Amino acid sequence: MTPPYPPNGQQPWNGQQPWQGQQPPVGQSGPPSQYFPGGWQQPVPQWQQPPPRKRRTGLIVFGVVIVVLCLIGVSIGIYALRSGAAEADEGRPEWDPSTQINASTINEIDPDALFWEMFERQSQEPVVRTVEETYQDKAAYVAGVVEYGDDTIVDYRSKQYIKTSLDADEGTIQARCVGDTSYSWASYRNGWHDPDSGGCRLRRHATYAGDGIIPGGLTPPQSDAMITHLTTRYSGFFQAGKPELVDIGGKRFVRLPVRAEPVNTGGLYWGFQVVTWSFQKTGLTAEELPYMQGNGPGEGANMAYYLDPETLLPAYHFREQTEVLGEDGKPNAKQNPLPVQRVEFVRPAEFPADPLSDTRPPTLTWDRSVR
């Protein structure tokens, strides 16, 4: 996804700097090794062995050992349960894979279960292609004034990628990355010029891939780790609304409204930054799987996904970002413009035989009014 800022990702968002490190403290104090989720570690009682009695010493020692072992076992069991509870996927409702979405079942669908099933499936797509438009704010969206536009395809297995950017002023292609080589478009000569080997880096442009929220190329365990963290540590950040069936362009889709609501963590309200922190749970680095979510760390959003009712993969995504919240949970007085973004998922995501042959500017086929 294209964020409304230069692609190095270092510019502050509404007064908040993107957090690249570990997650913020949650209020605990004391040595981490002594803290167990749910409370402080309780020492195992130290039992005093009674004076030995004639002919019964072996039995007494055996009994004491058994008792101590039982207590240790109980303590370890409590620790395991408490530790596991922090990351157990209790917040994710189960999706029944036999579910058929149609007019007779749509009202019975659990919105959150549908959202996370969609998230899981899309995150495991090995090749992702999206076309997106970013508007500076809602007024620009209504007027149809595009600020950024991109067409990006990434193969997460081979790291092959092509990214075409829009010259919004001219309505033409501005440049294209084919792997590490950058090509500029010259309108006056109606052709490419000045190829720059090394001018593109996938890691730098990773935020343009997908919708800027859901990564691609994850394995099932990696996807599960990210989702589990989002649905436990940051439960309530993504809130899905009632799905509905809609017909667009002669094809049926499931419209799923989703609210991204900043959550209070360590005394501060964090927005899309929690998605980055949850991605870290995959154990992947940016070099291993390029990913950068394309939203401000403190912002939320009102969104809608349009899903294929058969595959449950997204076909189109609309997102309008919402305000950064202060420590009191109310919008900050000073806000930067809140961007609006539209994303079309192109399927099948296939690489062209000649990556420079298509000179059309990035354009969505979905009407701008769909939201």
Per-residue pLDDT of 166-197, as tens digits, reads 999 999 999 999 999 999 999 888 899 889 98
Q: Which residues contact 288 (CB under 8 A, 6 or more apart)?
A: none
- Model confidence at 295, pLDDT cuts 50, 70, 90, reads confident
**For residue range 308-325, what is the model confidence (pLDDT) as tens digits?**
999 999 999 999 999 999
Q: Is the pLDDT of residue 329 over 80?
A: yes
Residues 220 and 82 in one domain: no
228 in a domain, yes or no?
yes
pLDDT for 237? 97
Cite the DSSP H helix spans in the chain.
57-87, 111-123, 138-143, 220-232, 273-279
Provide the residue type at 84 as one letter: G
Q: Are residues 80 and 220 in the same domain?
A: no
Residue corresponding to tokens 């086929």: 365
**Beta-carbon contacts of residue 349 (< 8 Å; ≥ 6 apart):** 125, 127, 128, 129, 153
Residues 49 and 122 in one domain: no
> What does the pLDDT read at residue 90?
63
Do residues 313 and 365 lie in contact, with contact meaning Cβ atoms separated by under 8 Å?
A: no
338 with 260, same domain: the answer is yes
- Domain membership of residue 49 (yes or no) is yes
Q: Please check whether residues 258 and 114 belong to one and the same domain.
A: yes
Q: What is the pLDDT of residue 55?
A: 45
The total number of structural domains that make up the chain? 2
Angle, helices 111-123/220-232, rounded to nearest 10 degrees = 140
Is 351 contained in some domain? no
Q: What are phi and psi of 87, to 5 degrees?
A: -115, 0
Q: Report the pLDDT value the prediction gives residue 193, as an integer from 0 to 100.
A: 87
Tell me what the pLDDT averaged over the chain comes to. 81
Find the domain containing 299 and state its range: 106-143+210-345
Asked if the structure places residue 289 within a domain, the reply is: yes
Do 233 and 277 sit in the same domain of this protein? yes
Q: Say if residue 52 is in the same domain as residue 111.
A: no
Of 1, 211, 189, 5, residue with least CA distance to 122: 211
What's the confidence (pLDDT) of residue 334? Answer: 85
What pLDDT score does 177 carry? Answer: 94
**For residue 95, pLDDT beyond 90:** yes
Q: Which residue has the higher pLDDT, 336 or 223?
A: 223
Whether residues 114 and 247 fall in one domain:
yes
- Centre a 10 Å sphere on the Cβ of residue 142 and count the other Cβ atoms it contains: 11
Q: How far apart are CA 281 and CA 278, in angstroms?
A: 5
User: Is residue 216 domain-shared with residue 272, that is, in the same domain?
Assistant: yes
Same domain, 111 and 258: yes
- The C-alpha atoms of residue 245 and residue 224 are separated, in whole angstroms, by 28
Amino acid at 116: W
Place of tokens 């990351």: 87
Per-residue pLDDT at 225: 97
Same structural domain, 276 and 239: yes
Q: Say if residue 113 is in the same domain as residue 74.
A: no
| 364 domain-assigned | no
Model confidence at 64: pLDDT above 50: no
The maximal CA–CA distance of the chain, rounded, in angstroms, is 106
Q: Kindly state whether residue 330 falls inside one of the protein's structural domains.
A: yes
Residue 251 domain flag: yes
Q: How confident is the model at residue 275 (pLDDT cuts 50, 70, 90)?
A: very high
Q: Is residue 93 part of a domain?
A: no
